[in-house]
Structure 1
Amino acid sequence: MKRVLALLLAAVMLLALGACAKTPAEDPDTNPGSTTDPGTTEPEKTELDIVTIPKLKGIAWFDQMIPGGEEWVAKNGGTFYQGGSATPDSALQLQALEDAITQKVDVIHIVPLATEPLEITMKKAMDQGIVVISHEAPSAENVHYDVEAFQNAAYGEHLMQALAKEMGEEGEYAIILGSIQAQTHKEWSDAAVAYQKEHYPNMKLVADYVESNENQDTAKTKTQELMKTYPNLKGIIGCSVIDPAGAALAVEEAGKSGEIKIVGTSVTETSGKFLESGTIQMISLWDTKQTSYAMCEVAKIVKEGGTVKTGDNLGAEGYESVVVDGKVIYGTAWLDFTAENMNDDPYITK
């Protein structure tokens, strides 16, 4: 029995010595500087391969999305490039979407020419683990989020307020949009007309919305037809980037500059000379560089398993405190330019 007790005592002493010999570095619980403490490690960067597919390539409006994405990846890692076609064709845009899926990118940014034809393929992308973020498509179903520069109704009302001011709140007007299937253009137009009916009863929409198909020559031809059919036409709202300029060409050729007022969405590169001549009274826009950056930040949040909430700051101008309604994220990012401040347009090549 004494021998057993002695052996047990020796074992206890050895265990005690081992515990005393253990250094703090070997015990993360007693070492506040331990590198194994998850509370002190920096999160890893989420490097993403991102492709943006605009309505069409080669115009300043959508090319401006490239530096926004490049700025984001410079800070966060990954790659950013533009896909799609220089022709505004829904079939070509659908093919670009399929190509992106085949290339196994992490993120697809898309600005649909028409949302519905892309829904099945956008779902295909999501099913394969690709994050899909849209712009100018708030009704899109098969996206993680849609990012908008502002609420569409507010922007449509804003355009109508500008046109009514120029027209003296009376007279006939028309609306040109890129496509009746372009959801944002349709929503701006509907809101503008509703606002006019409520606030400017002496103004009148003379015809159904006119489609330019995102083509300046078509916008010009359609405006010529409007002026011929409605000789008392006093105002035009253009929704796509090229619509105000196309309308202005027709108005100038008809010798009616200043007589027919033009406002709408555009950039100085496209419409600046008409602002200077007084044929276009005002253009509104948002900086798609900032939108693109915000879309990248949203994709990162989604990829990391998070959600975007009202009040979140997406790190881009106009998106410092967003409003989230379902899948749609709204900023407050429109900008107005006239002949007086047109040189401040962010799309001007410096």
Structure 2
Amino acid sequence: MLNRTTILAGVAAFGCGAVPAIAQKSNEVVTVVKVTGENWFTRMEEGVRAYGEENEGVETRQVGPGRADAAQQSAMIQDLVAQNVDALAIVPMDPSALEGVLRRAMARGITVITHEADNLQNTQIDLEAFDNAEFGAHFAEQIAECMNHEGKWTSFVGSVGSLTHVQWADGGAAYMEQHDGIELVSPKNESFNDANQAYEAAREIIRSHPDIKGFQGGSAIDVIGIGRAIEEAGLEDETCVYGLGLPQDTGAYLETGAVDGIAFWDPKDAGYVMNILAEMALNGEEVTDGMDLGVPGYENVSVTDGPGEGVIVRGQAWVDVDASNYDEFPF
């Protein structure tokens, strides 16, 4: 990763010649995630902390509610707005639930960066690791091939308010429409980012559709719950399970074949890049199409207009993992 001096090399110097040494106030950037304690966001916090440690003039920290709940997250953000922090970097549980509080934050001069929220109007920059419809179609393509292009399949999401999860499910469903022999049943099962809830939902689907073949996971822990249910039912050889996940979390299920494959973007890198974008915005720097942000998967970002006054920054950051390579990743 590049440090702030490299990333912000284009920022104009303040004045010319020697100036008296003046104590500069550090910018405070607070990253707010969907839930604290989930391994995905524990990994993201590594990137948040690394950015603060590697760059002078900015203080970084990460917070999140104790459970994946949009109302709790909104209340936490309201408190940070009242504290008048310099910038917020937010991974919304439900983007639509945050429009009001983020509008107030920006009205107070707080910089707002978001992630996994390309429908938000009240954000200055939304960061996406890739095109979300393509990501969902990628899972569906793998599932379809594994199913020999026939049979029943289903999809999971953290919640129907979790925008990217829904986009992946919809992208998968759109891809599957080309296969007449494939049937979508019980779409968008909600796990609320809880492996036990994903497990219970998968068990119910197996009971209701004993001939089910395909599962697409949305939340990073969905494949864990689905894999557990598949193992208990002894269906490792009859099912095809693909979805978002972390290698070390899902490794045991990849080994047994209860989960066939996962893909992810490194949340550490996403946390780091959100803080790069926050400091760029605070310094009046513009992120431009094709810019190299100095982080793997974000070396040639695309920049498009968002639904509001802000922009959407997209990388090319997903990684495919299966039983053959999951142990190459330390998280």
TM-score (norm 2): 0.89
Q: Which amino acid aligns with 2:166?
A: K
Q: CA deviation at 1:97?
A: 0.3
Query: Match for residue 39 of structure 2?
Result: 60
CA distance in structure 1 between the aligned counterparts of 2:85 and 2:302, rounded to whole angstroms: 28
Q: Secondary structure at the match of 1:38?
A: coil
Query: Match for residue 305 of structure 1?
Result: 284
State which of 232, 243, 252 in structure 2 corresponds to 1:273: 252
Q: CA deviation at 1:86?
A: 2.1
* Contact preservation (8 Å) 1:46, 1:76: no
State which of 330, 333, 339 in structure 1 corresponds to 2:314: 330
CA distance in structure 1 between the aligned counterparts of 2:273 and 2:126, rounded to whole angstroms: 11
Q: CA deviation at 1:37?
A: 7.2
Q: Which amino acid aligns with 1:134?
A: T
Query: How many residues are paired up?
Result: 310
Q: Which amino acid aligns with 1:155?
A: F
* Contact preservation (8 Å) 1:122, 1:142: yes
* Contact preservation (8 Å) 1:57, 1:86: yes
1:233 is aligned to 2:212: yes
Q: CA deviation at 1:40?
A: 9.6
* Contact preservation (8 Å) 2:248, 2:327: no
C-alpha change, 1:36 and 1:149, in structure 2 (3 Å) is closer
Query: Match for residue 136 of structure 1?
Result: 116
Shifted more, 154-163 versus 207-216: the winner is 207-216
Q: Secondary structure at the match of 2:122?
A: coil
1:38 is aligned to 2:38: no
Q: Which amino acid aligns with 1:159?
A: F
Shifted more, 232-241 versus 267-276: the winner is 267-276
CA distance in structure 2 between the aligned counterparts of 1:40 and 1:255, rounded to whole angstroms: 73
C-alpha change, 1:270 and 1:39, in structure 2 (3 Å) is same
CA RMSD of aligned residues (A): 2.0
Query: Match for residue 150 of structure 2?
Result: 170
CA distance in structure 2 between the aligned counterparts of 1:195 and 1:101, rounded to whole angstroms: 41
Q: Secondary structure at the match of 2:177?
A: helix
1:252 is aligned to 2:231: yes
Q: CA deviation at 1:36?
A: 10
Q: Secondary structure at the match of 2:89?
A: strand
Q: CA deviation at 1:38?
A: 2.8
C-alpha change, 1:40 and 1:292, in structure 2 (3 Å) is farther
- Give 1:155-234 correspondences, 5 Å limit: 155-198=135-178, 200-234=179-213
Q: CA deviation at 1:70?
A: 2.1
1:123 is aligned to 2:103: yes
* Contact preservation (8 Å) 1:149, 1:286: yes
1:342 is aligned to 2:321: no
Q: Secondary structure at the match of 1:87?
A: coil
Q: Which amino acid aligns with 2:209?
A: Y
CA distance in structure 1 between the aligned counterparts of 2:143 and 2:312, rounded to whole angstroms: 28
Does 1 or 2 have the higher relative contact order (CA < 8 Å, sep 6+)? 2
CA distance in structure 2 between the aligned counterparts of 1:36 and 1:109, rounded to whole angstroms: 26
Identity, in percent, stands at 33
Q: CA deviation at 1:224?
A: 1.1
Query: Match for residue 79 of structure 2?
Result: 99
* Contact preservation (8 Å) 1:287, 1:346: no
Query: Match for residue 5 of structure 2?
Result: none
CA distance in structure 2 between the aligned counterparts of 1:47 and 1:287, rounded to whole angstroms: 27
Shifted more, 263-272 versus 200-209: the winner is 200-209
* Contact preservation (8 Å) 1:61, 1:241: yes
Task: Give the gaps of 5 or more residues in structure 1.
Answer: 1-34
* Contact preservation (8 Å) 2:159, 2:192: yes
State which of 67, 70, 89 in structure 2 corresponds to 1:90: 70
C-alpha change, 1:39 and 1:137, in structure 2 (3 Å) is farther
C-alpha change, 1:55 and 1:164, in structure 2 (3 Å) is same
CA distance in structure 1 between the aligned counterparts of 2:284 and 2:14, rounded to whole angstroms: 23
Q: CA deviation at 1:234?
A: 0.6
Q: CA deviation at 1:48?
A: 2.3
* Contact preservation (8 Å) 2:280, 2:286: yes
* Contact preservation (8 Å) 2:248, 2:326: no
TM-score (norm 1): 0.84
Q: Which amino acid aligns with 2:139?
A: L
CA distance in structure 2 between the aligned counterparts of 1:308 and 1:136, rounded to whole angstroms: 18
Q: CA deviation at 1:306?
A: 2.6
CA distance in structure 1 between the aligned counterparts of 2:93 and 2:213, rounded to whole angstroms: 29
